[in-house]
Amino acid sequence: MQKVLVVDNSALMRRNYCDIINADKDFHVVDMSINGEDAYNKIHKNFYDVVILGMTSPRVDGVGLLRQLQEEQIAITVILISTTLPEDMERVRQAMSLGAYDYVCRLTRFNGVSDDFARDLLQSMRCAMEGKRAPQHTSEVADRVSRLTQRTMDTLSSADAQRPAVKTGSPRKVSGRKRLIALACSTGGPQALQLMMPMIPADIGVPIVLVQHMPAGFTDALARRLDQTCAVHVKEAKDQDVLEPGCVYIAPGGKHMEIKQNANKEAYVSINDKPPINSLKPCADVMYESLIHSDYAEIICVVLTGMGMDGTKGITALSKHKKIYVITESQDTCVVYGMPKSIVNHGLADKTVPINQIADAIIQKLGD
């Protein structure tokens, strides 16, 4: 039986990995570490056939651990666990160049694992045990993530060269109607947003509210990263923020975001800490349902890549009270075709296009 060391600073994720590994007759987790320093000390004192290294944990410093092992010429099989966010994939590329055997994508930063992840992890471990070449990340999701990440970087370079130099100026006059764009995404969303958002012009003329499934602590970094590459202003939404044209408000991780109206009939953000809805917090259904009571005459709903059905219930309810237009990302460019598929299957989608055509579809509708 192969001896395994699991390294991750999340107790829940360590337990998840252990459950997957120990359920296989060929492997057994004999040790766990919460960071790279502790793992390094254990590797010096004990023998392990495989090390499972969680690259999503900032305190683990997997790249530093691998660099140290390489400098000391300590040969050990290391399999990385990563999310699909571009910055995580960059760390994986560094780690692979330092001698890691393989990597497996966990798809999200949420504390959960899928059957596909469990299968890919055990497949990689089995290949390592049998002395075979690494699986080369043949899973459909990993291949798609790699392509999307490269496409994102290429498009961002092009968009950055073409976008306005400043984020000021008068909003475009799209129509006399009061409009809003309400966007939702989950798995694969950050890289989709980095591809799509820079294509939106600074004079879009309407506010944009966005729910991206993320835990607390990550949405502010996502907002700041997008703000650097977009013509529109992007920020993590704060309670009582009044919605302004040309600004994107991202629901803070671990909180629900609703849109309400004050005494001056201004739409504003209301952040609350109510329980998760279908294990989601923030939840897109909460955002969409809150818009029922808003003063917006028309709402453009946009649903991008993501697992599950979040957004379907909220958009269905919204459609009974407001004039809406629904744009979904097509299956060809989705990392996970779950949320958009649910919208399509429920007959709610007015237009379905690849991620690089979403912004054009929004602008075209605003010009109607």
For residue 73, what is the domain's CATH number?
3.40.50.2300
Residues 87 and 235 in one domain: no
The confidence score (pLDDT) of residue 141 equals 44
pTM score, two decimals?
A: 0.60
Residues 180 and 290 in one domain: yes
Q: Chunk the chain into consecutive blocks of 10 residues (it has 368) and report each block's average pLDDT, rounded to whole numbers.
A: 91 88 93 91 93 75 85 88 66 80 69 73 89 56 49 47 46 64 92 91 95 88 91 96 97 96 92 92 97 95 94 97 97 90 97 95 92
In the set 186, 319, 330, 342, the catalytic residue is: 186
The position carrying tokens 């040790």 is 31
The confidence score (pLDDT) of residue 289 equals 97
By the 8 A CB rule, do 219 and 185 touch? no
Residues 133 and 251 in one domain: no
Residues 131 and 197 in one domain: no
Residues 6+ apart with CB under 8 A from 92: 55, 80, 82, 100, 103
Instruction: Look at residue 178 and tell me if it is in a domain.
Output: yes
Structurally, the chain folds into a number of domains equal to 2
For residue 271, the enclosing domain spans 171-366
In the set 33, 256, 310, 319, the catalytic residue is: 310
What size, in residues, is the chain?
368
DSSP sequence for 66-126: HHHHHHTT---EEEEEEESSHHHHHHHHHHHHTT--EEEEEESSSS---HHHHHHHHHHHH
Is position 310 annotated as part of the catalytic site? yes
Residues 108 and 187 in one domain: no
Is position 137 annotated as part of the catalytic site? no
Is position 321 annotated as part of the catalytic site? no
The confidence score (pLDDT) of residue 166 equals 44
The confidence score (pLDDT) of residue 138 equals 42
The confidence score (pLDDT) of residue 110 equals 45
Instruction: Look at residue 149 and tell me if it is in a domain.
Output: no
Q: What is the DSSP letter of 206?
A: S
Instruction: Look at residue 147 and tell me if it is in a domain.
Output: no
Residues 194 and 126 in one domain: no
Residues 215 and 322 in one domain: yes
- Burial class of residue 367 in the structure, from the number of CB atoms within 10 Å of its CB (0-12 exposed, 13-18 middle, 19+ buried): exposed
The confidence score (pLDDT) of residue 85 equals 58
In the set 213, 319, 330, 342, the catalytic residue is: 213
Q: What is the CATH number of the domain that holds 285?
A: 3.40.50.180
State how far the alpha carbon of 351 is from the alpha carbons of 197, 210, 236, 344, 363, in Å.
18, 19, 28, 9, 13
The confidence score (pLDDT) of residue 142 equals 47
Instruction: Look at residue 299 and tell me if it is in a domain.
Output: yes
Instruction: Look at residue 165 and tell me if it is in a domain.
Output: no
Nearest to 353 by CA among 332, 324, 337: 332
Q: What is the DSSP letter of 17?
A: H
Nearest to 4 by CA among 120, 129, 137: 129
